[in-house]
Amino acid sequence: MSARAISEASGKRLLNCQLEANCGAAVCRFASVTTETDWDKLAAENAWLNSEKLVVKPDQLIKRRGKLGLIKVNANFAEVKEWVIERMGKDQQIGKASGKLRTFIIEPFVAHKQEEEAYVCIYSVRDKDVILFHHEGGVDIGDVDSKAVKLEVDVQEKMEVNEELVKKSLLGQQKTEKDLVAKFITALYKQYVALHFTYMEVNPLVITAGKVYILDLAAKLDATADFVCRGKWGDVEYPPPFGRDAYPEEVLTLLILMRRLEHP
């Protein structure tokens, strides 16, 4: 297994395409921005950018973007554009890593209360998958390993994950919309397995107005499953960690690999 991180945009695109329509998840609407983006064309192709309040943040495998001041919320399109242009291509120091911001993701702003935020994470180890859930989420969640409730799924025994098991094992402290959250987590885990994810973290997961919203997503895929999942994945890029741009040799290797996959 080769666990490789993917962009937030790639993860949300996959879930948009593959999550069951009746699982309660709101469609993740987003637009990606790079140094090559034509802002007028972007707005023309995504009408909601001009009609809704927005959120914008870098999409370069950066953790704790909220605490780093790298999220602009409740802004209009003009404010988002100005915010991105001020930071695009500029050096940014994050911990010990220094790099340039080159890719951003814009999404609709989802108004909600703090108590409507939750946390869910799925990850794989040698013989099992682990689902973590905490009824609170957001930037101040703290040590989730000590707070979250855990459901271990033995993959060798083909243990079935269903809504009743999720409610019983994970949602004891969830005060509202237990049926909705259980349905969503069950559907999310189903696609985690089907799409050969190795890691998936949603924080916060917002449960409001009868819908579940994936606000922030971090995910990894098993890159060795490309031959199995190519039809579902589509074109997936594996961006380098922030602070280390891909070497020319890596770019060339990736291009050759993509060509071979397109023309086996």
pLDDT of residue 253: 58
Domains of the chain by start residue, with CATH: 3-27+114-222 (3.30.470.20), 31-108 (3.30.1490.20)
pLDDT digits (tens, 9 = 90+) for 175-185: 999 999 999 99
- pLDDT score of 247: 54
The percentage of residues in the chain with a pLDDT greater than 90, rounded to a whole number, is 77
Backbone angles phi, psi at 154, to 5 degrees: -75, 110
- Confidence (pTM): 0.90
| Residue-wise burial string across 159-169, b where 16 or more C-beta atoms lie within 10 A, e elsewhere | eebebebbbeb
pLDDT reported for residue 206: 98
Look at residue 158 in the predicted model and tell me its pLDDT.
76
Tens of pLDDT, residues 196-249: 999 999 999 999 999 999 999 999 999 999 999 999 999 888 998 887 665 555
Residues near 26 by Cβ (< 8 Å), separated by ≥ 6?
Answer: 211, 212, 213, 214
Average pLDDT of the residues in 161-169: 97
Regarding predicted confidence, which is higher, 57 or 93?
A: 57
